[in-house]
Amino acid sequence: MGVLKQIATYLYLKKKDPDAPDTQWIKYMHGINRISLLLFLFALIVIVVKLFIKK
């Protein structure tokens, strides 16, 4: 699976692959990855806003 497709799946932009294995540990891993992606996007937004406010 491509990186962009995986990110889209984490952020609920794309439906999940029905053939993918679905264990409890994979659900935990995807949840943690989703949280880290959202925090990263939030940090990028904060950095961009700070850059525009300073000028």
pLDDT tens, residue order, the chain (55 aa): 577 777 777 666 666 667 777 788 878 888 898 899 889 999 999 999 999 998 6
* pLDDT on residue 20: 72
Count other C-beta atoms under 10 Å from residue 42's C-beta: 10
Count other C-beta atoms under 10 Å from residue 10's C-beta: 18
CA gyration radius, the chain:
15
Residue count of the chain: 55
* pLDDT on residue 46: 95
Q: Where are the domains of the chain?
A: 3-12+22-54
Q: Locate all alpha helices (DSSP H) within 1-55, ordered by sequence.
A: 3-10, 24-54
